[in-house]
Amino acid sequence: MLEPITKKYEDASTIKQFEFIFYCDCCGKAIPTTVIKFRSGFRKKFFLTNDEREARAIIYASDHGKAYERANNEVLHELNRCEKCGDMVCDDCTVFSKDIDGRVYCRKCSEKESEK
């Protein structure tokens, strides 16, 4: 499975939908992604055979993996990577250097640089 884009994330998926929440590596701000409904293609039944349960589980796992990958790519557009430490940070924690090179730093690395 694909590594999460941030150090901390939450899988809030249920049997009916896939939902992921990623957190800024600097301030911890929650960044939810688009909720995707799970449609197994099976009609609703009260009693499932073992084969039906197994088939649903396989389909769910496959769709969950695809939804996670999509969420990971979606949150990538909401965050910036610090060029010093590599953390993924929200816009509030992003600092653009005033140098000619215009590097992107997180708030923590920017503060360390200004102390020097």
81 found inside a domain: yes
**For 51-108, how does the pLDDT look when each residue is reduced to its tens digit (9 = 90+)?**
887 888 899 999 999 999 999 999 999 999 999 999 999 999 998 877 646 788 999 9
pLDDT over threshold 80, residue 110: yes
* Gap between the Cα atoms of 24 and 30, Å rounded: 7
**In which domain, by residue range, is 92 found?**
8-115
Give the contacts of 69 (CB within 8 A, at least 6 positions apart).
2
Q: How many CB atoms lie within 10 A of CB 25?
A: 23
Q: Record the pTM.
A: 0.83
d(C-alpha 90, C-alpha 23), whole Å:
9
95 within domain boundaries: yes
Question: Judging by beta carbons within 10 Å of its beta carbon (0-12, 13-18, 19+), is residue 51 exposed, middle or buried?
Answer: exposed
Going by pLDDT thresholds of 50, 70 and 90, the confidence category of residue 42 is low
The pLDDT assigned to 69 comes to 95
Helices (H), the chain: 50-76, 107-115
Whether residue 34 is predicted with pLDDT greater than 90 in this model: the reply is: yes
Residue 110: inside a domain, yes or no?
yes
Assess if residue 103 is contained within a domain.
yes
pLDDT of residue 115: 66
Distance CA 73, CA 66 (A): 11
pLDDT at residue 51, as a whole number = 86
Q: Please state the domain count of the chain.
A: 1
